[in-house]
Every structure is written in structure tokens, then in C-alpha cells.
Amino acid sequence: VANGVEGIGLAIPSNAVQNVISAIMEKGYVPRPYLGVSIFDQQSAARYGYQLNLKKGVYIFQVVPGGPADQAGLRKGDVITAIDGDDIKGVSDLRAKIAEHSVGDKVELTIQRGGQERKASLTLEEMPQDNR
């Protein structure tokens, strides 16, 4: 062991490990929940040469036809500002919040459309294999 290096131990809850093992044994992969949208926040838009004037939330620039967001009535141009009442500041917030859920969970989105705030409830579906 090198001088000045401290050992680090990591613990993973056994029920989380069991869920992952069960999913891999059953399907061969771990299913991930998704909304069925492509999104930008101010920083990610800038990387692609777009300019967004968002103080919070994520801008929907594409909705997957037939996906959960489409079924809930979301559309291009909507801005997701909260999930289950928790503010969404950017893409990483949205991804983290969705990752807390499982396929089949219901979530409530707060969106801005044309200056109006709306609520949309949807059921998370399994991310298609080609999106992984």
C-alpha cells in the first residue's frame, strides 16, 4: 500500500443488488425508465450552438412518438420545470430524478407552455434498447 493512501470502502444496499441481479437474470440487462423526450438546458444547448434563455428547467426539442411524454400531451417547446414538485434546474437534475424511479412509476411534471404553467402526469416506460 502506498504511503498516504487511505482505503475506501463502498457499500451497496443488498436489496438494490438483488434487484439488479434479478433484472439481469430475467432480461439480460437492467431496464431504465424514460420520459421519451430529447432535452436541452442552457449549457447543453450552448455546446450545440443554440442559445436558450432559461433560468430553470429543460427545453423539450423532440418528443418520441408514442412515448410516455407524447401520451401525456407534451410537445416540442415545452419546458419541464419540476418533477413530483422538485425543481429541475437542468438536464442532470432531470436525469437524476428519473433514475430514482422504476419502469411503471407515475410522475407528475410541471411544465411551462406559452407562458402558462401546466401539470402533466405520466407513467415511465422502459427505455428502448437502442437508446442505451
Whether the predicted model's global pTM rises above the 0.85 cut? no
User: Please, what is the average pLDDT of the chain?
Assistant: 83
Tell me how far apart the alpha carbons of residues 33 and 107 are, in angstroms, rounded to a whole number.
11
Domains in the chain (CATH in brackets) are 32-127 (2.30.42.10)
Residue 118 pLDDT: 95
pLDDT of residue 11: 62
* Number of other residues whose CB lies within 10 A of the CB of residue 50: 12
* pLDDT per position as a tens digit, 64-120: 999 999 999 999 999 999 999 999 999 999 999 998 888 899 999 999 998 899 999
